[in-house]
Structure 1
Amino acid sequence: MDVLRVFNNNVVLAKDGDREVILTGRGIGFQAKPGQHVDDAKIVRRFVPADGRDPDHMAELLAGIPPEIIRLATDAMSRTGLAEQIEAQPTLVMALADHICGAIQRSQRGQTIEYPLEAEVRSLYAGEYAKGEALVDAMNDYLGGVLPKGEAVALALHLVNAGFSTGDLSNTYTMTGVIQQMLSVIENTYDVTLDQHSVNVGRFITHLRYLFVRIHQHQQLNDEPRPIVETIMTSYPQATACARKLAIVVDMRLSATLTEAEIAYLALHISRVTADAAKESSSELETSGTRTHNA
């Protein structure tokens, strides 16, 4: 590999065959010049820009993060089952490393942050939150317990955000609020309480997350056979009416008009989660009645 551009002593942009790669490592850029061969022994990590990302911009961002923090982030990711994302999603590595760097600095200054979305993250993104906790634990093994447990919330949001291929958390914050609003609309429409830890509600939340990705990428479902869409809407009229309410929320919050196919599949999920909630409510009433009778 040959050097294309030197960003600092620890980050260079290089040519690897037909592609450009970002290389990090202590001293890899020291006295290096464009056209020179890269010292392979100094390479710690290589990042291949994806999704049309500008290699120069990514390299500039990496140059602002100490290499030992990048190593810490990637080692922690490897230990917590995120090794594949290191190569596939370099922007995720950068986001996590940058956040960790800031968290360490705050800890050194005696500052702490209370994340207001902790309850929502624990409920809506249970898998990512568990990964966030594991990342904090893994990094604290290296740092001697410097990071507060609450940082798991922010790390989980970065993991969720990776699905949007964006550089900030604005879409993820918006998505979290909209999902909560949509669940509230369903509960108020059907006068039920949804168990956000149930299997069907979990599937519904996953469906909503992919829906937001499709909206963001302008790739909503729109080629489903019309008879299938009409059959769903005819079979579940109340759920379809509720789904149209959710479509209004999406339009107001995200400025996106849902297709009829998307509305139909929302209706299917609404029918499932509300049926579960109704069964749970009925079971609780029966149990309560039995206790009263026995008393």
Structure 2
Amino acid sequence: MKISQILNNNVVIVKRGMNEIIVYAKGIAFRKKVGQVIYENEIEKTYVLDSNDMLEHFSYLLSHSEPNHITLVNQIIKYGEDKLGKKSNDYLNLTLLDHIEFALKRAQKGQFIRSPLTWEVKRFYPKHFQIGIYALDLIKEQIGSEFPVDEAVSIALHFVNMEEGKSNLDEAIHSMETLKDIISIIHYHFQITFDENSLDYMRLMTHLQYFIQRVSSNSPYSVIGDEVLNQQIKTLYSNAYDCVQKIRIYVQKKYNCNLTIDEETYLMLHIHRISDKQTLKGEEK
């Protein structure tokens, strides 16, 4: 592959077939000139991009990045690939490098961004969150910069995006925000703090995940439609019923979807189970 452009001592653009690609290795351009050949065994990392705009943007990024930052990102990517059992694409390397470079500049000024999705990502994407924590540990060890846990969430979402794609990531974030809102409705209605390790809490979370999938696609669960059972549950668990009505209003506004009798019944049962046990625990203290 012949050198088209030397960006710095470690980064060059080469011609491969009809396309230009970016290649990286420490000292790869040392004593080299445009037109000379770069061999595969000299290259540490290759970046293949699908547009000239991307090539220009990431060429600038790589040529202005510290070599140890690029190596660090490669280590994080390798850990993430092993953790998830999936190969990444070149865009992940570059977007993550861009993110970390900017985060390090913010850290120097004491500027740290709080993530509204910390709880949700820890709960729904534990492997991805662990990758984020690994990245923060590596940054601290190799560069000396410390970040709050929120930054692990931002890094984790890069790997979620890698697996699910942009549109699915947007849907996942939207669903996580909805889940957080519904949990908040239950929390404030009953004035309780949940035991997140309890079986009832995990059951509620699982039910809500599928519930949100159904209402977001406007296909709420409706099989039995048992009005007698629904009325019995309303009478027995009136407080849970009141809470579900708040969730009903929220869902109607956000998704323009009305709850069926079956959805209402199951929500009341799950909410009563967890609220009743949490209330009893509170009274015992």
Does the 8 Å CA contact 1:3/1:32 hold for their aligned counterparts? yes
Gaps of 5+ in 1: 252-256, 289-295
Q: How far apart are the structure 2 equivalents of 1:259 and 1:158?
A: 36
Does the 8 Å CA contact 1:186/1:270 hold for their aligned counterparts? no
Which residue type is aligned with residue 73 of structure 1?
V
Does the 8 Å CA contact 1:48/1:90 hold for their aligned counterparts? yes
Distance 1:57 1:153, change over 3 A: farther
Which residue type is aligned with residue 59 of structure 1?
L
Q: How far apart are the structure 2 equivalents of 1:111 and 1:95?
A: 22
- 1:80-120 alpha-carbon deviations (Å, 9 max, x no partner): 6656588335444333211221233345xx411233337x5
Match of 1:199 among 198, 202, 209: 202
Displacement of 1:73 after TM fit? 1.0
- 1:164-203 alpha-carbon deviations (Å, 9 max, x no partner): 5349x99888766544333222334556444445433554
Displacement of 1:129 after TM fit? 4.2
Q: How far apart are the structure 2 equivalents of 1:134 and 1:58?
A: 28
- TM-score if structure 2 supplies the norm length? 0.61
User: Could you say which residue in structure 2 is the equivalent of 1:280?
Assistant: 278
- TM-score if structure 1 supplies the norm length? 0.60
Distance 1:284 1:171, change over 3 A: same
- 1:235-272 alpha-carbon deviations (Å, 9 max, x no partner): 66748745533423534xxxxx45979x9779856743
273-282 vs 79-88, which deviates more?
79-88
Displacement of 1:25 after TM fit? 0.9
Distance 1:11 1:279, change over 3 A: farther
User: Could you say which residue in structure 2 is the equivalent of 1:245?
Assistant: 249
User: Could you say which residue in structure 2 is the equivalent of 1:291?
Assistant: none
Aligned-residue Cα RMSD (Å) equals: 4.9
Which residue type is aligned with residue 254 of structure 2?
V
User: Could you say which residue in structure 1 is the equivalent of 2:24?
Assistant: 25
Distance 1:240 1:86, change over 3 A: same
Displacement of 1:15 after TM fit? 5.9
Does the 8 Å CA contact 1:233/1:240 hold for their aligned counterparts? no
Q: How far apart are the structure 2 equivalents of 1:13 and 1:241?
A: 62
Gaps of 5+ in 2: 235-240
Does the 8 Å CA contact 2:182/2:247 hold for their aligned counterparts? no
Q: How far apart are the structure 1 equivalents of 2:259 and 2:39?
A: 56
Q: How far apart are the structure 2 equivalents of 1:201 and 1:32?
A: 62
Displacement of 1:75 after TM fit? 0.5
Q: How far apart are the structure 2 equivalents of 1:48 and 1:274?
A: 54
Q: How far apart are the structure 2 equivalents of 1:269 and 1:47?
A: 49
Match of 1:115 among 93, 113, 116: 113
- How many corresponding residue pairs? 254
3-state SS in 1 of match to 2:223: helix
Which residue type is aligned with residue 39 of structure 1?
Y
Distance 1:160 1:229, change over 3 A: farther
Which residue type is aligned with residue 45 of structure 2?
R
Answer with 1 or 2: which has the greater Rg.
2
User: Could you say which residue in structure 2 is the equivalent of 1:99?
Assistant: 99
User: Could you say which residue in structure 2 is the equivalent of 1:154?
Assistant: 151
Of all paired residues, the percent bearing the same amino acid is 12
Does the 8 Å CA contact 2:69/2:97 hold for their aligned counterparts? yes
